[in-house]
Amino acid sequence: MAVFLANVGVNASHAGRGLESPMRADGTFTMLPVPERIAWRPPMLRLAELPGAAAYAPGRCLELAVHHDPDLTSPLPTYGDNCRSAGRAFSLRRAEAGDLIVFVARLRPATGGPVFALVGRLSVAEVLADVDRDPGPGWWDANAHVRRARATGSWNSFWIFRGGPGSGLLERAVVFDRDQADRTFGGSWTWPANRTELQTIGSYTRAVRRLVGPGGELIRRLVA
């Protein structure tokens, strides 16, 4: 069974707008979703409709439409991606039932600079592939890709993964630093002197990474 490492949530490009996911001293965290590129229209979600996240966002951002994906707090957890058209998600076309998608996000600790951390997991139970028309009602209804497509009429062959038992946000974030990255990827990453550790990790995780063998098992243990 494979493990996929997917980078989600707000990132450095959103920090200038005051959107950063906080991590508290005890490791608990709140993950803010990425704003959509279009204005809100139903059934999309606004940031104000996510109370846990809205509390950590500037008031001027509360009416933004947001891409709440992955959705790991619903009774039917899901994650969607453009596996057919976005190069960053191509590896997810190999995901199948029993595989694990682990989510890494950029978090802002109470003190010090931002970090990357493992924040959640989705145990793949079912895959809805190449959605190019409204599939009708089903377990996918709350997913951000479906919400956006129903609002705009743009069904662009995205994929949706339903999570089974064991899916959800972690109780505490697991910092994913250079040491963890080297252990996971066997020291295969290059760490340029002119880039920060955070920039390098962000660059390597921009595309979803598929892991099998020792690296995958390490990630499984970290989020167990």
193 three-class SS: coil
SS3 category, 85 = coil
Q: Average per-residue pLDDT in the chain?
A: 97
Condensed to tens digits (0 to 9), the pLDDT of residues 32-85 reads 999 999 999 999 999 999 989 999 999 999 999 999 999 999 999 999 999 999
Question: Which two three-digit tokens encode residue 66?
Answer: 């947001």
3-state DSSP assignment of residue 128: strand
Task: Quote the pLDDT of residue 156.
Answer: 95
Task: State if pTM tops 0.75.
Answer: yes
- 20 CB-near residues (< 8 Å, 6+ apart): 10, 14, 32, 56, 106, 107, 108, 114
Query: E strands within the chain?
Result: 3-8, 21-23, 34-35, 45-46, 65-67, 78-81, 100-109, 115-131, 158-163, 168-175, 209-211
8 Å CB contact between 4 and 149: no
How confident is the model over 146-190, as pLDDT tens digits?
A: 999 999 999 999 999 999 999 999 999 999 999 999 999 999 999
pLDDT tens per residue across span 80-105:
999 999 999 999 999 999 999 999 99
Domains of the chain, by residue range, sit at: 3-222
What's the confidence (pLDDT) of residue 165?
A: 96
